[in-house]
Amino acid sequence: MRRLIYISSTRTTFTAGDLEEILRISRRNNAAVGVTGLLVAGGRRFLQVLEGAEGAIDAVFERIKQDPRHHAVVVLSRTDIAAPSFGEWSMGYARGGAVRGDATLPETVAQLLAPVTDPSLRGYFEGFAQVHAAA
């Protein structure tokens, strides 16, 4: 099983509605090929982890890279893993800003990371949430 972590920027600022639509499509597509993961939006930057069979990860990531809304897609880590980190989620999600007025981005991300034991995976997301806390 493969884990891929990437960071990217987008050309435009997505509205909450745009993000909901990306999530809806991602969950549908990922569930169909057994891919799970976590997407965190901080302003115009995204951090995403995708886990699943190698062929499925390659296919999903190829589509993401070719999406014209993305640019500067940079792979941070590509590793083989024994078991997935996120159970049944097709794509967990958090974003900065006022959408979740009751919790900061680091707090929301900490909740999403609750099932994750891998310190390196936790580190990427905790760091990103800190840096983009105000986004």
Ligand X SMILES: Cc1cc2nc3c(=O)[nH]c(=O)nc-3n(C[C@H](O)[C@H](O)[C@H](O)COP(=O)(O)O)c2cc1C
Residues of the shown chain interacting with ligand X in the complex, contacts defined by CB under 6 A: 22, 25-26, 29-30, 39, 46, 48, 60, 63-64, 67, 69-70, 91
36, β-bridge pairs: 51
The residue (of 5 and 39) whose beta carbon lies closer to ligand X is: 39
Dihedral sign, CA of 36, 42, 45, 47? Answer: negative
Which residue lies nearer to ligand X by CB, 51 or 113?
A: 51
Judge contact between 96 and 42, C-beta under 8 A. Answer: yes
Distances (CA, A) of 100 to 28, 91, 94: 24, 18, 9
DSSP string, 47-93: EEEEEE-HHHHHHHHHHHHH-TTEEEEEEEEEEE-SS-SSTT-S-EE
Between 25 and 81, whose beta carbon lies closer to ligand X?
Answer: 25
Smallest distance from ligand X to CB 14, Å: 7
- Minimum distance from CB of 8 to ligand X (Å)? 6
Q: Which is nearer to ligand X, 25 or 134 (CB)?
A: 25
> Beta partners for 52?
2
Give the nearest distance from C-beta 81 to ligand X in angstroms.
17
Least separation in angstroms between CB 38 and ligand X: 10
